[in-house]
Amino acid sequence: MSEQRDDLRDEEAAWPVESSEDLHRDGWVVALRADRVKRPGADDEPAFRRIVLEHPGAVVILAIDDEDRVLCLRQYRHAAQRRFVELPAGLLDVPGEEPVEVARRELREEAAFTAERWTHLLTTYSSPGISSERIATFLAEGLTATDRGDFELKHEEADMETLWVPFDDLLAAVLDGRVADAPVALAVLAHQVRRTGGTP
């Protein structure tokens, strides 16, 4: 394995914003705004427009049972006009709640399972050119069936299908493009690297 480089990291930065206009904002968790941004040190250049999808962040759960099967969901996504093979997931829509606690809640609400062991796999930005969405991905093991509490499945979730998929089959489906949901691919590939000793 190559030596770790200390300079190979993303950096915090905030370019000046001349103005900001809400394009859509209501009671839901996401909002859309248009910013007029200035490049630092380029005072002679005009500000340019960038659309920003404000997003509180999300979690994704790769839940694997003792037979090395992954708990998957099949769910309709209107924006893409497809039913995707997905993993349990949810929004960080409660201020101050830790991502792992959101993951615990979402695994119970969406899939009716709890887990004994939780491992953080990675945290990524979905599409930083347009969105602030940041997704924390967790491995959940030691699964036990439970109830959903008072959570009620509605809308697309009411049509959700649960399926158990051997991990190697899901990995193959990701690699050949049959399963194309990005959070699924990231979770599966991160777990594969870790379980084959490819992490420091």
157 is catalytic: yes
Q: Do 10 and 122 contact (CB within 8 A), yes or no? A: no
Element (DSSP H or E) covering residue 135: strand 134-145
Phi and psi at 164, nearest 5°, equal -100, 125
54: which 2 tokens? 């404000």
The residue among 25, 12, 52, 24 whose CA lies nearest residue 36 is 52
Give the HSE-up count for residue 143: Cα atoms under 13 Å, Cβ half-sphere. Answer: 22
- DSSP designation for 123: E
Paired with 143 in beta bridges are 115
CB neighbourhood size of 120 (10 A): 13
Of 54, 101, 141, 157, which one is the catalytic site residue? 157
- DSSP designation for 141: E
Catalytic residues: 157
